[in-house]
């Protein structure tokens, strides 16, 4: 298995005299290693390591090449601004090659060099993963042909190569962004070929921060997360190492600053979902018909008898006694599904059988009204507590619905994907309890969505493969892609209010936000009018709620910054921070997550500085 090793050596640089606001802002940039597999434990983790990108920054990427796949010519470093890069689409359409010429958002030093011969730390053996066994080899000596496109020359049949580039950003780099870096070979991303990892650079403002935990397992995979209060939550999944494997239960009582692994019965190999009826009583389900119940807030879990050995994928409790679990049983010829129902807290479960169905998620708005979704766009609904279920029409004919969530008995959302020649993200919505479903997001290529949650009629999030996080603030009419900074699959999202939420997923990823995932965003437009002077217009409308337009003019090519401050002078948001050509520009600023008050916006361009006042009135 070919694997890109990503090791980013980043240090915070202390500037001796130039301690300006701009440098503080740049000091908040982050490298994030998007890995978490067998190689991560061996190398220094650089997640959320501060760096100041005012000059060249070193970036290391590693790749294994073998005799049966020896084509390592034309190795190049490229970047993209989205973790979703379908391998069936020409990567040239998505990835920008980085050269020593300043033509994009990054360029590399002409003194590109390669470390070879010695292992990274004191000649230690490098781990290579092969099947279920971990083997070790020394890195082989290799050289670059600098006169011919930096071609790689293989000296051994199996080699582990390490490239180190000196990287520098240009003035075109954007705030609030994530840039993914990968090695390419003949215009084919090594990531796409080997299912390995990116190095990711995050630029402020960074709205999703990673949280970590200690586990007995070397490798972890989180399937679901549920919070009962601002600081108290649970995450479930599975883990494994060279000795054993099993279900994984994590608990936090400080908002995720620390996650503690809880005891999990040995019969629970893989926990798929978790739900709490209140702060004390919760249920987790998983493989082999496992049902676990806690009555002390997750401190301990007791196994219940489900009466089945199928894979239990979803659980929903409306109170301490009444709950529903769905699952699948696979045979060589059919996929069958079960609905398990309890009215006594799981002491006993009644079972309903569905032939040739695959159920993936369940959601109840009260004790009587519930919805189940699954493969091939299936939707069934009950209005009598699960005694009977009626089919509904989703409009999804060639895809799956992986998750469903209802705000109340009428308003609900389901997510998943449809497939033709591409994968297309799908979000559907109902406002009448599922009598009719319409497509809220559909048509454009996008990853498989795995989870959705709304905290009120307007505000909701959806997550999925390739680190995708979407947010809507208008009841699903529009969805904005948020910057997660990872490319791994995200399996579940849970918010306790419109600001604070968590996302969990592959390789034990846990992300948290305290501002809804995005503070503000801008939409900038450029006109053809050529101004003869710099100016900054008054925003319109003013007062505004929550969006306003700001127009400014640049009369000569300059580096332009446009920033928003609160009444105390604290910087709230950078709207523009790049070089601009001569022209008139207009942007729309959305301050939906800010509170009412007086704010100031300031334009700097060369020697020109102007500040104006605006009022956010909600």
Pull the structure tokens for residue 557: 């090519």
Asked if 286 and 293 count as a contact pair (C-beta separation under 8 A), the reply is: no
Q: How far is CA 290 from the centre of its chain?
A: 28
DSSP 321: S
- The segment(s) of the chain belonging to CATH 2.60.40.1930 are 521-616
Structure tokens at 122: 């004191």
Q: How many CB atoms lie within 10 A of CB 130?
A: 9
| CATH 2.130.10.10 boundaries in the chain | 209-513
In CATH, 521-616 is 2.60.40.1930: yes
Q: How far apart are CA 265 and CA 440, in angstroms?
A: 41
pLDDT at 15: 23
Find where tokens 């569905």 sit. 354
pLDDT score of 548: 87
pLDDT averages per 10-residue partition of the chain, 618 residues: 30 24 31 36 31 49 49 62 58 68 66 35 33 35 38 42 61 69 57 50 73 87 96 96 90 95 89 97 96 96 93 96 93 83 96 91 96 96 96 93 95 94 88 92 85 95 93 88 84 96 93 80 46 81 86 86 89 86 82 87 91 89
DSSP three-state, residue 376: helix
Q: Give domain 209-513's CATH architecture.
A: 7 Propeller (2.130)
Q: What's the pLDDT score for residue 193?
A: 41
Q: Name every residue whose Cβ is closer than 8 Å to that of residue 491 and which is 6 or more positions away in sequence.
A: 222, 223, 224, 237, 450, 451, 463, 504, 505, 506
């Amino acid at each position: 298995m070919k694997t890109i090793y990503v090791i980013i050596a980043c240090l915070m640089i202390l500037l001796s005299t130039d301690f300006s606001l701009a440098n503080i802002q740049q000091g908040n940039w982050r490298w994030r290693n998007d890995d978490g597999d067998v190689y991560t434990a061996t190398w220094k983790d650089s997640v959320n390591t501060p760096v100041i990108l005012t000059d060249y920054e070193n970036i290391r990427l590693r790749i294994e090449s073998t005799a049966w796949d020896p084509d390592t010519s034309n190795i190049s470093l490229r970047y993209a601004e989205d973790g979703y890069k379908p391998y069936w689409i020409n990567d040239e359409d998505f990835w920008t090659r980085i050269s020593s010429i300043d033509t994009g958002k990054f360029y590399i030093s002409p003194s590109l060099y390669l470390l070879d011969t010695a292992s990274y730390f004191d000649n230690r053996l490098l781990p290579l993963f092969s099947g279920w066994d971990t083997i070790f080899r020394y890195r082989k000596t290799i050289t670059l042909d600098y006169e011919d496109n930096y071609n790689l020359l293989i000296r051994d049949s199996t080699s582990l190569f390490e490239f180190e580039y000196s990287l520098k950003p240009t003035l075109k780099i954007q705030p609030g962004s994530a840039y993914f870096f990968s090695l390419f070979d003949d215009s084919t991303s090594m990531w796409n070929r080997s299912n390995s990892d990116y190095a990711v650079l995050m630029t402020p403002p960074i709205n999703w921060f990673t949280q970590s935990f200690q586990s007995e397992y070397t490798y972890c995979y989180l399937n679901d997360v549920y919070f009962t209060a601002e600081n108290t939550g649970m995450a479930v999944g599975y883990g494994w190492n060279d000795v054993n494997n099993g279900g994984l239960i994590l608990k936090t009582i400080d908002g995720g600053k620390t996650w503690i692994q809880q005891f999990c019965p040995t019969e629970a190999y893989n926990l798929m979902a978790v739900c709490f009826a209140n702060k004390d009583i919760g249920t987790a389900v998983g493989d082999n018909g496992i049902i676990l119940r806690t009555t002390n807030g997750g401190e301990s879990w007791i196994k219940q008898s489900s009466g089945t050995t199928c894979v239990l994928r979803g659980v929903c409790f409306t109170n301490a006694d009444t709950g529903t679990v769905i699952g699948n049983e696979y045979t060589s010829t059919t996929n069958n599904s079960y609905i398990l129902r309890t009215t006594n807290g799981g002491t006993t479960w009644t079972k309903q059988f569905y032939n040739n169905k695959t159920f993936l998620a369940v959601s109840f708005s009260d004790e009587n009204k519930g919805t189940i979704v699954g493969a091939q766009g299936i939707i069934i609904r009950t209005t009598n507590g699960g005694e009977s279920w009626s089919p509904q029409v989703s409009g999804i004919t060639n895809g799956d619905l992986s998750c469903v969530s209802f705000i109340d008995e009428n308003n609900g959302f389901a997510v998943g994907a449809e497939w033709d020649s591409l994968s297309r993200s799908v979000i559907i919505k109902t406002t009448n309890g599922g009598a009719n479903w319409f497509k809220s997001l559909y048509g454009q290529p996008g990853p498989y969505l795995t989870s959705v949650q709304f905290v009120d009629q307007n505000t909701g999030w959806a997550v999925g493969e390739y680190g995708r996080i979407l947010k809507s603030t208008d009841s699903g009419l529009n969805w904005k892609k948020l910057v997660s900074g990872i490319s791994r699959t995200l399996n579940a999202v849970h918010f306790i209010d419109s600001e604070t939420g968590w996302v969990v997923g592959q390789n034990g990823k846990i992300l948290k936000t305290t501002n809804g995932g995005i503070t503000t965003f801008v939409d900038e437009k450029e006109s053809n009018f050529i101004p003869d002077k710099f100016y900054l217009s008054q925003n319109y409308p003013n007062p505004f709620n929550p969006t306003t337009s700001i127009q400014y003019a640049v009369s000569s090519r300059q580096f332009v910054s446009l920033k928003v401050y609160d009444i105390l002078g604290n910087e709230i948001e950078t709207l523009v921070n790049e070089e601009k050509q001569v022209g008139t520009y207009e942007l729309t600023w959305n301050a939906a997550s800010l509170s009412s008050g007086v704010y100031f916006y300031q334009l700097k361009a060369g020697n020109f500085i102007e500040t104006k006042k605006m009022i956010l009135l909600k």
